[in-house]
Structure 1
């Protein structure tokens, strides 16, 4: 497993997403993922599953130093006091004394970015999170955070897959040495049924989803966190790492339409 190194942390390029996993099912899925070898877990305050993730971590007995755990603060809790309370609650639910990465989950209208990042940087200085970052920030917002505030951003977690062009954002992040972490890396299931990806998969004795995932993981500075609750899906995603895509494969993928944004809530920023 390759790792991305950013702002003093090292995170596996393939992680386990937990969005919409709940309760005992979430705990079982995370325990199963850890048993298969996953070491990068992604959760969030808004997912309402941090307790289940924490229980799975505790039951797994994987040494804490070998794990990368990301959680996120919801956009209604971005005022300094609310942010700190949200962080304390997340840590307690996860049964951890620190997380590896703490992200602003979504930007909010009228948010005070300097206040937010002053609070986040303080949490980092206190050793309660090893790194801080953002999710769903567009170029203008990342630019403000990095250039005006000077915050040490470890990543921008955004929707990214074979059916969505993120070239401009990727180029900007690369220029700033900020990794991109791809959520919904299989385009909410659309990749699995794509005929062009399936044709590439047949050539390599792989599935369309594995082709889509490997295309992402082959890119410098990109990690992916597919949600997978079933053991078979978790293993299939790990097996995608063994794939070797060639130039003809990449050319075929480049020819796919790149305009399918699957996640676009009303509070999303203006996308680039």
Structure 2
């Protein structure tokens, strides 16, 4: 998929005007999920915007309790209605747990593409072994893999797999839940570039080839600042300093 460097993560956003503002300032990739409970909010925000539909990538995720075939079909149909779209651009398996069955679930995702309900199949929070199993089953190529990715947590093996098979990685929680502002190496690089730790963290994520970030933001100022982070040019010494952070904190373990 041809995704922009920065998209909008919408978990916790309950005001359609935030979505409309994000589109106004330049966001074109919106990421939500059934379990967030705000697909209708995202849909209403899209409806309030005059950005052409064909310029948007709208992504959502089927939660772990709805991955049996009939539930995939019913919940995806409900997602389409809440989002106000005929076709969901990118539909993810949110986590391969609970009702997930590789054969049954993934073949149903393929069938949704055949129906025209979705354009692309995405996976989220998969291990490398689970990705290989999915590749062996899906007719559709893996369009994206969404994973937690920030200065305190990343999985080089997953990134290598994505590069090998030429699909993008979508980094959620790229600001580590705000923890980046307390990381000395990140703060030092921010001071050097006269910007914020959050902007540096996003710029660092984007130095990884094939990785796209979906930070959450609600105010216009933060929405614009996150987009601007894509223009920060980190030097190799900056990248090395952040790479050297030894703490490993996964915010959303299974």
TM-score by length of 2: 0.96
Partner of 1:96: 85
Aligned to 1:3: none
CA distance in 1, matches of 2:231, 2:100: 43
Maintained 8 Å contact 1:117/1:151: no
**Match for residue 12 of structure 1?**
4
Distance change in 2, residues 1:224/1:55 (3 Å): same
Q: 108, 115, 118: which is aligned to 2:104?
A: 115
Aligned match of 2:57: 68
Alpha-carbon distance, 1:239 to partner:
1.1
State the 1:148 CA deviation. 4.7
The alpha-carbon deviation at position 12 of structure 1 amounts to 1.3
- Please give the alpha-carbon distance, in whole angstroms, between the structure 2 residues aligned to 1:175 and 1:109: 29
What secondary structure sits across from 1:134 in the alignment? Answer: strand
State the shift of 1:203 in Å: 1.1
Q: Which runs of 4+ in 1 moved over 4 A?
A: 148-151
Let me know the Cα RMSD of the aligned residues: 1.3
Q: Which runs of 5+ in 2 are unaligned?
A: none
State how far apart, in whole Å, the 2-side matches of 1:172 and 1:225 are: 20
Answer yes or no: is the 8 Å Cα contact 2:148–2:154 preserved in 1. no
1:260 to 245, 249, 253: 249
Q: How many residues align?
A: 254
SS at match of 1:72: strand
Is 1:38 aligned to residue 27 of structure 2?
Answer: yes
1:141 maps to 2:130: yes
Mapped to 2, the partners of 1:13 and 1:149 lie a distance apart of 26
Does the 8 Å CA contact 1:165/1:258 hold for their aligned counterparts?
Answer: no
1:145, 1:151 within 8 Å by CA — same for their partners in 2? no
**In the superposition, relative to structure 1, how do residues 61 and 149 fare at CA in structure 2: closer, same or farther (>3 Å)?**
closer
**Conservation of the 8 A alpha-carbon contact between 2:66 and 2:99:** no
SS of equivalent residue, structure 1 residue 211:
helix
Separation in 2 of the partners of 1:149 and 1:96? 24
Matched with 1:200 is 189
Tell whether the 8 Å contact from 2:110 to 2:139 is kept in structure 1 after alignment.
no
Identify the residue that residue 143 of structure 2 maps to in structure 1. Answer: 154
Matched with 1:183 is 172
**CA distance in structure 2 between the aligned counterparts of 1:46 and 1:126, rounded to whole angstroms:** 24
Compute the displacement of 1:149 (Å). Answer: 4.6
* Distance of 2:200 and 2:49 partners within structure 1: 30
Structure 1 counterpart SS, 2:130 = helix
User: What is the Cα deviation at residue 258 of structure 1?
Assistant: 4.5
